[in-house]
Amino acid sequence: MSRKYFGTDGIRGRVGEFPITPEFMLKLGWAAGMAFRRQGACRVLIGKDTRISGYMFESALEAGLSAAGADVMLLGPMPTPAIAYLTRTFHAEAGIVISASHNPHHDNGIKFFSGQGTKLPDEVELMIEELLDAPMTVVESAQLGKVSRINDAAGRYIEFCKSSVPSSTDFAGLKLVIDCAHGAAYKVAPSVFRELGAQVSVLSAQPNGLNINDGCGSTHMQALQAAVVAQQADLGIAFDGDADRVLMVDHTGAVVDGDELLFIIARDLQERGKLQGGVVGTLMSNLGLELALADLGIPFVRAKVGDRYVISELLERNWQLGGENSGHIVCFQHTTTGDAIIAALQVLLALKRHGQSLAQARQSLRKCPQVLVNVRFAGGQNPVEHVAVQDACARVTERMGGRGRVLLRKSGTEPLVRVMVEGDDEALVRSYADELAKVVTEVCA
């Protein structure tokens, strides 16, 4: 059964445009409450990032859940993975995240976690969708849900993050710059690294509701690169707006992406005999990651793009480590979803154990030139399926002669076609990417 509202990462769009409206969120809260109540007693946690519309949607969801008879516990601004963790520890039936992740403030969205801190099962999402099309009702007054606030949520999550490293861990002498993207990690991330002994300088931790991801964070690395060099820091850490993505900057100012971070973690786990199975990447993972892992004898498989597909593949194979080059990194040995702070801690641990800088640790992975071009389109037919686009992809693939690959995909969160070309000749790769992007643009016109 196809979904009407849920995409690959919940429900997302521009604030004020359906379905990202107060009316829809009221109904969504009610539908979710009714679906979760069918499982028995119902308690739902709500957390959000720092964008201004979060207040409005939090109130609407709260009212809908209460009307369905579900008790609500409010967390306030918290990283997405924190909500997954707290949903488990409070034995709630579900957790709701109000966030549009790395998108600008004028977007927002809703993600759900199950009581186990994982993505909702398909059957529950479909049940919510069915209820969204049903008339809204209100339970008897005595059965209305109650609402409370969890005041120590940040402290609980900080301790959880610290528990993912040995209790003897001490990052004294390590000089970090952290970019919080004016987002959900602005309080907890600096605390975690400081409490573990690091010297921390913080960027973009003054959210005003409008500046989330605005020229900062993991999608805009320039300020962090400049700060790391200017402050002669050991490295920089960049989060996105809801802190489920992490990228880093080495001491020279070079960006270290999710593929490289995943490699550093995997190599360390293997050397310590702690790597269970292999590593899951995605269709966008650099070919260099696959080759570097193969040199170490570590199995590697590709899932579709999106952390839910990485997680699904990990569960199916009973593996523990996976991620995307965008910085979603899943460490199942510690938590149930992609967690930027925990992933960053695993990288720092690996560097400390090996006595290496980040610049040294990344050298064993030789990335193949990869060019990504985003082409915006106005909806309607998926341009990737157009015959002209398919023919152009086939021509470029043939001309690459087996020394590269082409991937075109429609974004699951934005009206974009992502054109990716990878190969061993950077100039050719860029020209092929531009050629394919031009075809997509013409088709979309």
CB 192 within 8 A of CB 345: yes
Catalytic residue among 101, 114, 204, 218: 101
Is position 141 annotated as part of the catalytic site?
no
Residues with a catalytic annotation lie at 101
